Structure 1
Amino acid sequence: TTTLLPSDHNTVDFSFSRIKTEQHSDPDIFSIIKSLQDNPSNPHFVLQDDILFRILSSSDTDPHSRVPVLPKSLISSMLHTYHDHPLSGHFGVHRTLARIRTQFWWPNMRRSVQNYVASCAQCVRHNIVRTKPDGHLKSISPPSAVFQVVHMDFWGPVRTSSSGNRYVIILTDNLSKYVIADALPDCTAKSAAQFLIDKFILFHGVPERLITDNGTHFNNHLLHAITTSMNIAHAFSISYHPQTNGQVERFNATFASQIAKYCDPDRADWDVYLPSIVYAYNTSVHSTTKFTPYQLAFG
């Protein structure tokens, strides 16, 4: 069964009708609207159905070539929705700004987002500072297709959730950075094998290469039989060089930080937020690729 997110994460009305009403009550925006009504020729703004849009590009095919100008009255609630909501993930300035820019525009957007994220108590409390460790192993050759090389790892154990889960198993595509994850009560070989087949292979096909750590949950007869029969090259990272499996190591760090921002104090409901955080990660622009993982994985 699907567990709904707690009711304190309500959606806000950002419909065109609401934006139109608020725009006409915003003195700065309304002055631009009046100017366009007198002289429609403006390289930066356009009126459409009496709603003010910011022109971002001249493309007729780009769905984000123009976005509505957000009134001041909606900026605070919009920042809360696009940063704090579980489907947005409590991410930093880069990801939050990239997500907003496809939907809205207002003057000094970057500064607004920077100030909001900097003042977010949950982010200040739980964000981690990443530093690259010395002695990185040489990176593996980049794959030529999505889901060709995948990384898999367990995160946990953590406090047992109300549903009995203590671990998260995470699979990351090397090329697109797309993540698939599931909450589990254990980290056994059987659970790992079942996740690989049921959640990945049956949906996305057989990868050419699987990279995991050398723990018994991955280095075992069951997974060896599966990878051998499907002609999957299974590579192991070693405990003193975990960077070999750095794709999931980085997401594990992100996941631990993000999920802590939504959980109740004893974290009994942490697995309720897992699908939303994975969604937020997959639909946010990745700093390495400059695209969202979803875009690269599925077009």
Structure 2
Amino acid sequence: MARAADEASGNHHIYWENDILYSEPKLLEAGAACVLVVPQSYWAFLLGLAHSTPLAGHLGHGKTLARLVTYFYWPQMRVPSDAFCRACPICQAIGKTRKRLKAPLIPLPVVGTPFERVYIDIIGPLDPKTAPGNRFILVLVGHATRYPEEIPLEDSDYTGCNQSSDVDISPCGIPKRVVSDRDTNLISTYMKSMWDACGVTYRFTTLYHPQSSGLVERFIKTLKSMITGLPQAVRRKWDVLLPSLLHAYRELPQKGVRYSPFELLYGYHVREPLSVVK
């Protein structure tokens, strides 16, 4: 994110190499690479690719700019990027706001191991229902990495949760601690017995206080917005497109940690559509 500010503010120098124009930040961060200088005729195409596709997810100006400056540069990038996102008809229809929190967040204890502590919740019912009959999503977010996983469900009751237990929702095995709200389907006897059998400590958030699990609640808000932003022609296939939407979320740096969930889990930056264009 610091690099996004440098690129947008002009802290760079331009040079030619093999008849290609490159930009290099004056204060080059470790692991950072030089980027291509893009003529104005390509700006709209790259902005659309970085913001409007299912692999981009309509994630807003800040994340759109952060995605672009990883590979490209043009003068005053922040201005056309902000204008493009503000003019996006889908984002306007979704009604995204820039409301700031009135009080600072209080950090939780540091977790050094991915998926040692995870947050779970259920989204739904979603409209429209997909062809396989899915209307809900069981989501899991790792506290240490912010890395999300999901399972589409037909129902949110015992049957749906039983369906989810047959799927490996964590790529790194069984967590030590699971945190959820007090949804009756998540605190059922079946779920408790499943966690007990796995040796998992299960904790609940404060009643009527979703901020206690703000990590997963914020992700749910973003995922709902991304699903709503899908083109009408494919919105009924949101369960099929979930991997693309999750990719869009996982590849971008998270506020407060400066790294993407993918980087925190795997240790390198994932290859994305903009890197192919470059």
1:12-67 superposed Cα distances (whole Å, 9 cap, x missing partner)? xxxxxxxxxxxxxxxxxxxxxxxxxxxxxxx82232322111112576973x4201
User: Please, what is the CA RMSD of the aligned residues?
Assistant: 2.6
1:244-286 superposed Cα distances (whole Å, 9 cap, x missing partner)? 2222211111111121111418942332332211110111121
Between the aligned residues of both structures, percent identity stands at 28
Indicate the residue corresponding to 1:20 in structure 2.
none
Residues 1:104 and 2:104 are matched in the alignment:
no
In structure 1, C-alpha distance between the alignment counterparts of 2:248 and 2:27, rounded to whole Å: 29
**What 5-or-longer segments of structure 1 have no aligned partner?**
1-42
Compare 142-151 and 92-101 and name the one that shifted more.
142-151
8 Å contact from structure 2 (residues 153, 163) kept in 1? no
Q: 1:229 aligns with which of 197, 215, 236?
A: 197
Indicate the residue corresponding to 2:94 in structure 1.
126
Q: CA deviation at 1:219?
A: 1.2
In structure 2, C-alpha distance between the alignment counterparts of 1:154 and 1:99, rounded to whole Å: 29
Q: 1:289 aligns with which of 228, 248, 257?
A: 257
Q: CA deviation at 1:97?
A: 0.7
Q: Kindly tell me: are residues 251 and 165 of structure 1, through their superposed partners in 2, closer, same or farther at Cα, counting changes over 3 Å?
A: same
In structure 2, C-alpha distance between the alignment counterparts of 1:263 and 1:215, rounded to whole Å: 31
Larger Rg: 1
Residues 1:70 and 2:38 are matched in the alignment:
yes
In structure 1, C-alpha distance between the alignment counterparts of 2:138 and 2:56, rounded to whole Å: 21
- What amino acid is aligned across from residue 186 of structure 1 in structure 2? D
8 Å contact from structure 1 (residues 87, 276) kept in 2? yes
Give 1:150-189 correspondences, 5 Å limit.
150-159=118-127, 160-189=129-158
8 Å contact from structure 1 (residues 170, 180) kept in 2? yes
**What secondary structure is seen at the aligned counterpart in 2 of 1:287?**
coil
Q: CA deviation at 1:216?
A: 2.8
8 Å contact from structure 1 (residues 137, 241) kept in 2? no
Give 1:1-299 correspondences, 5 Å limit.
44-56=13-25, 62=31, 64-129=32-97, 132=101, 140-159=108-127, 160-192=129-161, 194-195=163-164, 198-201=167-170, 203-264=171-232, 267-299=235-267
- Number of equivalent positions: 254
8 Å contact from structure 2 (residues 178, 201) kept in 1? yes
1:130-180 superposed Cα distances (whole Å, 9 cap, x missing partner)? 56488x996542322221110000100022122311011111111221111
8 Å contact from structure 2 (residues 140, 148) kept in 1? yes
8 Å contact from structure 1 (residues 127, 257) kept in 2? no
**What secondary structure is seen at the aligned counterpart in 2 of 1:44?**
strand
In structure 1, C-alpha distance between the alignment counterparts of 2:143 and 2:237, rounded to whole Å: 30
Q: Kindly tell me: are residues 61 and 251 of structure 1, through their superposed partners in 2, closer, same or farther at Cα, counting changes over 3 Å?
A: closer
Q: Kindly tell me: are residues 127 and 294 of structure 1, through their superposed partners in 2, closer, same or farther at Cα, counting changes over 3 Å?
A: farther
In structure 2, C-alpha distance between the alignment counterparts of 1:195 and 1:297, rounded to whole Å: 23
In the TM superposition, structure 1's runs of 4+ consecutive aligned residues that sit over 4 Å from their partners are 57-61, 130-134, 136-139
In structure 2, C-alpha distance between the alignment counterparts of 1:245 and 1:197, rounded to whole Å: 25
8 Å contact from structure 2 (residues 150, 169) kept in 1? no
8 Å contact from structure 1 (residues 152, 211) kept in 2? yes
Compare 168-177 and 140-149 and name the one that shifted more.
140-149
8 Å contact from structure 1 (residues 155, 168) kept in 2? yes
TM-score where L is the length of structure 1: 0.76
TM-score where L is the length of structure 2: 0.82
Indicate the residue corresponding to 1:33 in structure 2.
none
**What secondary structure is seen at the aligned counterpart in 1 of 2:169?**
helix
8 Å contact from structure 1 (residues 146, 175) kept in 2? yes
Q: Kindly tell me: are residues 58 and 248 of structure 1, through their superposed partners in 2, closer, same or farther at Cα, counting changes over 3 Å?
A: closer
Q: Kindly tell me: are residues 101 and 197 of structure 1, through their superposed partners in 2, closer, same or farther at Cα, counting changes over 3 Å?
A: farther
